[in-house]
Structure 1
């Protein structure tokens, strides 16, 4: 069904209103002699607000105020906030396609770097859930760029698409993890106190050494480490013939909330904490035993030294 205000141009298939606008095939309101409002201006204003204050700050009312119009004026161009968000997503996804020189790995790396730059320019993009099937031109262009980077690979389109989605997911999740993750000095100090070896036996040492002093996912080094490892895996998979795995492991989503599973996992965590504490106690006992042994050896050396000194004193007296 076409929503109100999304009547397609003659000969154009019926599309959701915002999708039709993105493709440039929707019939838009005619501008009057004094009318300066347009879909483009509305979307640009919304993107400016999101860039400055985050996606939560975007509302039809705030966009209208920024443009000097009433909120009702906007509804002639977009049917609501959902449409506005979709148009913002597509407009902000206009990412330049990188050169197609080099091998598939070089081209995919350049493509992922360009996509990341778009997410860095508009960090709020990571807050918008991706569509299961992209439907707007700029989002499709991102996928097309990835497929173009793999045009020399002898793989079915289904496999190339899966690789594209894998890398897009990495870029998006990395951007989300690195967005607004800085912690202040008080939180940093608190983590050093809260992350104890008893509760986090594998993490505590790193946290106390400053592992969390900088956002984990905000650096180029961290991004390209992960990207290069993904490309390593794809290269190894291609060298094995690029065959799909025959087995698919699946955990039913309901298992996550199963009471007995939660209780069992809690018991495991508690047992691990007790084990870590027991190991710590054993290490302390061993350290004390080593200290006692060292002290006993030191006392023995002192007794030997005193005995030697007495023997030397008696020898000097007799002489």
Structure 2
């Protein structure tokens, strides 16, 4: 699988040039996953959509697990180019870019979990996130942990706000808010605290993304500030020149 992720397809045996490439196969799988969900992706379905024979796919990729890994790295793509800036601004922008990627391809939330080989694009995202944490006083482990915490928050909010084709009723944010408002209107006595909280809440469901992200960055800021050496104040005493 690692070889496929890094563009090292199995050596081709003698014969005619393949009619398709691994990138084309992965692109077809991405189109299916975007429209119908990850469960809709199969070797046969991808072959039908190209169209080629199912056996033709196996000349490039051993099976669905390997195909999904290649699809995931291709769908993530390279992180957007951003100008250098203060660490907090850099990491905040990085998190929003990552969130946007999950919204474009919600199935990535399913395919990019657990222990697995990482491809060049996914590693490039981690590299870009770390760029904002260089020379701020954190150890290498703390930098990686900071990326993990931010990523986990982004993934959680994206999972709550995304619609997964084939696995969801497909409600819009407006539908969800309307449905909740109707329930709370009729069940106010049962959920008084929820009614009180929602009555003063404002903004979109993604408000939680910003709120949580700012609190994480606040915590990192405290840690970073604690690593800055502050010289002790030295009191200058008056000199008695009569001695």
TM normalised by structure 2 equals 0.77
- 2:26–2:71 CA contact under 8 A, matched in 1: yes
Residues 1:61 and 1:210: Cα distance change in structure 2 (over 3 Å): farther
Unpaired segments of 5 or more residues in structure 1?
Answer: 1-17, 243-319
2:209 maps to which residue? 223
1:203 to 188, 191, 194: 194
1:58 to 37, 41, 60: 41
Residues 1:166 and 1:98: Cα distance change in structure 2 (over 3 Å): farther
Aligned length: 219
Q: Which moved more, 1:79-88 or 1:32-41?
A: 32-41
Counterparts of 1:24-39 in structure 2 under 5 Å?
24-29=7-12, 32-33=15-16, 35-39=18-22
Counterparts of 1:168-317 in structure 2 under 5 Å?
168-180=151-163, 182=172, 183=175, 187-188=179-180, 191-192=183-184, 195-198=187-190, 200-206=191-197, 209=199, 216=205, 219=206, 221-241=207-227
CA shift at 1:33, angstroms?
3.9
1:251 maps to which residue? none
CA shift at 1:21, angstroms?
1.0
The structure that has the greater radius of gyration is 1
RMSD: 2.8
Residues 1:186 and 1:94: Cα distance change in structure 2 (over 3 Å): closer
Unpaired segments of 5 or more residues in structure 2?
Answer: 164-170, 229-243
1:19 correspondence with 2:2: yes
CA shift at 1:56, angstroms?
2.2
Counterparts of 1:66-81 in structure 2 under 5 Å?
66-81=49-64
- 2:5–2:119 CA contact under 8 A, matched in 1: yes
CA shift at 1:204, angstroms?
3.3
1:40 maps to which residue? 23
- Provide the rounded CA distance (Å) in 1 between the counterparts of 2:18 and 2:55: 14
TM normalised by structure 1 equals 0.60
User: SS where residue 203 of structure 1 aligns?
Assistant: helix
1:144 correspondence with 2:130: no
Q: Deviations over 1:257-308 (max 9, x none)?
A: xxxxxxxxxxxxxxxxxxxxxxxxxxxxxxxxxxxxxxxxxxxxxxxxxxxx
CA shift at 1:89, angstroms?
1.1
- Provide the rounded CA distance (Å) in 2 between the counterparts of 1:119 and 1:126: 7
Instruction: Answer 1 or 2: which has greater helix percent.
Output: 1
Q: Deviations over 1:102-138 (max 9, x none)?
A: 2111111121122122222212211224234652211
- Provide the rounded CA distance (Å) in 1 between the counterparts of 2:158 and 2:100: 10
CA shift at 1:43, angstroms?
0.2
User: SS where residue 77 of structure 2 aligns?
Assistant: coil
2:147 maps to which residue? 164
- Provide the rounded CA distance (Å) in 1 between the counterparts of 2:115 and 2:18: 37
- Provide the rounded CA distance (Å) in 2 between the counterparts of 1:224 and 1:44: 32
